[in-house]
Structure 1
Amino acid sequence: MAKAPPKPWPTGEAEQIEPLVRRVLAPNPSPFTYTGTQTYIVGLGDGCAVIDPGPDEPAHLAALEAAIGGEHVCAIMCTHTHRDHSPGSRPLARRTGAPIVGCAPLAFDTAGPRADEGFDPEYAPDRVLADGEAMSGPGWTLTALATPGHVSNHLCFALEESGALFSGDHVMGWSTSVVVPPDGDMGDYMASLQLLHERDDRVLYPAHGPAVTKPRQLVRSMIGHRRQRENQILRLLGEARQQVGELVAQMYKGLDPKLTKAAALSVTAHLIDLERRGLVVRSEDIWQTS
C-alpha cells in the first residue's frame, strides 16, 4: 500500500488526462480511498459520460458541474455501489437529466462492522449493463466488463476509442482491493484479475490512485501477491489450528491499526475460498488445513 503523495492534491480540479478523458478528484481522502474518489468525464463537445460520480458531496458536485459546463451528459455510469462511488449519481442526475447506467443494485443486509465505505442502499439505475454491453455518445464507446470480486456487482468500462479501461476498485495502482465477504468473493476476484491480465488495455484509470501504465505487469504482480498470501495461510495453518486474528498478527507485521479489520476480512475471504476448494476446514472460529 503506497503512501499518499504530498499535498496539495488536485481536489476539485478538472484535469485533462487524454483527449477524451477528464478527471476530477473528490474531497474524501481516507485510508481506503487514498487521496479521494476520482470521477472521470468521457467525451468532449456534444455529449459526455460521467464515471463514478462519487459521494453526495456539494463541493464535488459543484466541481463536476463546472467541469461539464454546458455539455450534454449522456449517462452517469457507476462501477459499483460503495458509498464513495455511486451516491453522487442521484443529485447529478437531477441536475443534468441524465440516466444512471452501469452496475446492478445490491440488496442484502449490510449490518455489522465493515472495513470499507459501506454500500449505497439507494442506488437505483435506469439501465443495468450486462457484460459486453456498451454505452455510446459522440466520438466514444464504453463497454462494460463484469469484474466481480471486490463486490459482486463490479464493472469496469473499456473506452474503445483509446484503449483505456476505467477499473473502479478492481485494480488500483496504490493498493490491492479489499475483498469483504459475504458479497466480496476471493475466487471471483482472482478470476476477474486473470480476465484483465488476458486483455491488452493500454492504460487503467482507477477510482483511487495514479493511472496504471503497465496493466498486465501490475495485474500479474497482484495475482502473485494473492497466491503468496494464500500459501502463507496454508503454511501457518499447517503448523497449528488458528483463528483469523492470530493469522493476521503473523501475516501483517507492523500494520497500521486502522487497517486491521480490512486485513482480517481479506484473510477471511481467502479462507472461505480455500474452504470451498477443500484445502481448509473450520470449527466455529478455528481454522485448520484439511
Structure 2
Amino acid sequence: MNEPLLEIKDLVVNYGNVQNKHQVANAVDGVNLTLQAGETLGLVGESGSGKSSIARSVVGLTKWSGQIAFDGSDMNQLRGGALRRVRQNLQMIFQDPYGTLDPRMPIGKQIAEPLLAHGFVQRDQLKVRVSELLEMVELDGSAAANYPHQFSGGQRQRVAIARAIGLSPKLIVCDEPTSALDVSVQAQILKLLDGLQRDHGIAYLFIAHNLGVVRQVSDRVAVMYMGKLVETGSVEEVFDNPQHWYTKALLNAVLEPEPSSRHRGRRRLTKMKDSSENSGGAR
C-alpha cells in the first residue's frame, strides 16, 4: 500500500474541561488514523465524541499534541512557506455554510480570495476561474455577483464547496456538510461531492452522525466514543459485522424511529457497555 496521504498518531486535543478534581477529559485521546489519496474515510460517533476536534486539528484550527503527517510532511515541523503550501492542499467544508460566508461580500469575491492569497490564478483570469468553479458545483457563473442571503441553504453549501476546491486540494475535511440540509438537497450535495472526487481524485475525511450517509459515501469507517477510536474497518466490516459494543449500539439506534424506542435504546446502550466493557476495540 502507498504511503498514506494523511496519518494521525497519538492525537490529543484538550480544551481544559475538568471532569473532576482528579481527571481532565481529553476531547480527543490518543487517536491513530490513516487516509489514502482519493479515499473517503467516514468518521462517526455521537455529539461530543471528538469527531469535529479531529477535523479542526487536521486543518490547524485548534491546538493539538501528537503527530499529524500530510502528504509525507510532519505538520509539527512545517513553518512559513512550507506550511502555506501544505495548507493549500487541505481544505474544509463546514456544517453551516452561511456561518462561513461573509454576508457583506459577493460570493464571487469570497471564492476568489484564496485564489489570490495563494497566487493560484492571475488577476486577469480571476473572473473566468470563479465562473468555472461555480459551474463545477452546478451554479450559474453569473451568480458570482450575488450575496449569500440570495441563495438557499443547499446553494450556499455549493458555494462553500466551490471555494474549497478552488485550490485543487488533495484532501477536503467535510464536517457534517449535509446535516443542516433537507433530505433531497443532501442527496444532491452528496452526488456533487462524489462526482468531484471521481473527476479530481480528492480524498475526504467525512464526518457525520447519519450512518446512512456514511455508508453511502465512505470506503472505510472509523467510530469515535468519548474521545477514543473504538473501531475501524471497511464499510462492509463495520456495518455488517461490528465488533465493539458502541458500534453495535449506534447501528441498533438507527432501527428505532419511535421516541419511546430510543429511550429504551439508551438504557440498553448502558447495559451493553456494562456487559461489554472488556470487549475488543478498534480493528
TM-score exceeds 0.5: no
Q: Judging by fraction of residues, say which structure has more helix.
A: 2
TM-score range, shorter chain: 0.3 to 0.5
In the superposition, the TM-score normalised over structure 2's length comes to 0.35
**TM-score, structure 1 as length reference:** 0.34
